[in-house]
Amino acid sequence: MSEAEDRKPRSDEARATFDPEITSEFAIPEGLAVARGSGESETTSEFAVPKGLESAQAETEPEGSAFNTPRTYSVKDAPPAFTPATGVPMITLITDAPWQDRMRTMLRMPVAERPALEPVARSEDEGPAVPRVLDLTLRIGELLLAGGEGAEDVEAAMFAVCRSYGLDRCEPTVTFTLLSITYQPSLVEDPVTASRTVRRRGTDYTRLAAVFRLVDDLTDAESHLSLEEAYGRLAEMRRNRHPYPGWALTMASGGLAGAASVLVGGDAIVFVAAAVGAMLGDRLAWLLAGRGLPEFYQFTVAAMPPAAIGVAFALADVDVKASAVVTGGLFALLPGRALVAGVQDGLTGFYITASARLLEVMYFFVAIVIGVLTVLYFGVQVGGELNPDAALNIQSRPVLQILASMVLSLTFAVLLQQERSTVLWVTLNGGVAWSVYGALHTANFSPVASTAVAAGLVGLFGQLLARYQFASALPYTTAAIGPLLPGSATYFGLLSIAQSHVDKGLVSLAKAVSLAMAIAIGVNLGAEISRLTLRIGSPGKRRAAKRTRGF
């Protein structure tokens, strides 16, 4: 072999044969003949068609890909297309229906099935700027949410404002402390999103009614309310003072407590004592609020004076129902408005907002428990004779108790800062609620069932009155459920715990929770029955979320 041939590179086979020191795993084993191709590596992709598999065989085998035509498919017997030959029937809404019903109906529809806005010829410079419309929408939603309106109604109002200014593709989102809205001009343009945080909450149903009137005017095709006019009315709402002064609210708190004490068997002395205790608690709560303390401590301090007056009557051995005094004071503090709103959000599918509202109710309830238990514990330790076995006796004085329930609803309406035109209606609604509850309780119905039926009528009548007035249903329902609040069950449960009867106390508190849930569910069910039977603004049957086995 020549020296030139020695310098030639050896092939892979030669290396494997003559170089025993090669131990690489890529070396070709001796005796394995490998066909030489174009020099490319063998295809090892999982998408490669296996050798020997012909296209004709693939057609006879069961389909293994989502892109293969199913073997049962036939062009002659093709299934119907998604869109029928006659077209999809157009959904129209009744134009003279309240905007709440029309917007709620659209929000509960799938996005693809919502009827689009009628095309309007606009010039290049005509129409408000999108960011300003979204800002106005968020400000309106903030006032509604801070006033205690349900999340679904807040979304409906925000949706109505956007559509009134021609923003069709918008999606509002409401949580307990955050409002956001997104508008997408088209499929090829970037969406515009704005948000607003709700930091302060206040009860003013007069302002709430004004916001509803503003939204009603915006959705009215004949009003032609401009964006500047809407901003002006919104600023006027914020500047307006509350309809009732502070001293009137304190007097209303005392009247509410006194009327509640009469409902549970109190007399004139008990009425005055409960009223004084509630007014002292209200003033102390205002004092703490002025110092910037959270509402938790305000509720704790406000619950102490009525309990202290009841314990004082027990220590003085006066022939007065001390339990009625404490129960009346608790009625003015129980967060019935937040409870109804929380359960309503849960029933309509807003679970995050419902959880936050119910958590707020739980904190308020714990604050009341701490305030009352502290006073009752010291009262029991110093020898106060408080009887936790006292029971309600509603059939002994039905006329007086019906009048007391109406006074309770009236004073509750004042505390909620309602318009004077709605006070009479909610007072009558509260009297009807207590009459129904008393009649069912006399007929030996359970307290929970009686409360649920009475609350259902409150929700039904409240929704009918709201439709008649084209306003929110809250001013007609919240104060009317005041006589049904579980003040006595709460007090007796706390008293049993203070006297070391924990099991008995927990049973009574569980009853109070059951009554509260019955009130909230009854109010919501009555409102839904009203919408279902009247079907104003609904295109046929309203769709709801359908779930089977959790899906």
Q: Tell me: the pLDDT tens digits for 323-355? A: 778 888 887 787 777 777 888 788 878 888 888
pLDDT tens digits, 162-184: 888 888 788 889 988 889 999 88
Asked whether the beta carbons of 332 and 257 are under 8 A apart, the reply is: yes
Spatial neighbors of 451 by CB under 8 A, at least 6 apart, are 437, 484, 515, 518, 519, 522
Q: Which residue has the higher pLDDT, 168 or 92?
A: 168
Query: In whole angstroms, how far apart are CA 219 and each of 161, 338, 351, 471, 475?
Result: 7, 28, 29, 13, 22
Strands 178-183 and 170-174: antiparallel
Lowest mean pLDDT among 285-289, 327-331, 540-544: 540-544
Residue 138 has pLDDT above 90, yes or no: yes
pLDDT of 543 reads 45
pLDDT tens digits, 385-402: 665 445 444 446 788 888
Residue 260 has pLDDT above 70, yes or no: yes
Residue 546 has pLDDT above 60, yes or no: no
- Coarse DSSP helix, strand, coil percentages of the chain, rounded to the nearest 5 percent: 60, 5, 40
Rounded to an integer, the average pLDDT of 272-282 is 90
pLDDT of 96 reads 55
Q: Helices (H) and strands (E) in the chain — how many of each? A: 21, 3
pLDDT of 179 reads 92
pLDDT of 123 reads 38
Rounded to an integer, the average pLDDT of 224-238 is 85
Q: What values do phi and psi take at 10, rounded to 5?
A: -80, 155
Lowest mean pLDDT among 6-15, 330-339, 442-451, 454-463: 6-15
Residue 510 has pLDDT above 60, yes or no: yes
Q: Which residue has the higher pLDDT, 280 or 110?
A: 280
pLDDT tens digits, 21-65: 555 666 666 766 555 554 445 555 555 656 655 454 444 444 455
Asked whether the beta carbons of 266 and 314 are under 8 A apart, the reply is: no
Could you give the percent of the chain with pLDDT greater than 70?
69
Average pLDDT of the chain to the nearest whole number: 75
Q: Which residue has the higher pLDDT, 210 or 124?
A: 210
Other beta carbons within 10 Å of 437: 23
Could you give the percent of the chain with pLDDT greater than 90?
5
pLDDT of 136 reads 92
Identify the band that residue 537 occupies on the pLDDT scale cut at 50, 70 and 90: very low
Rounded to an integer, the average pLDDT of 92-114 is 59
Question: Whose CA is closest to 93, among 112, 116, 120?
Answer: 116
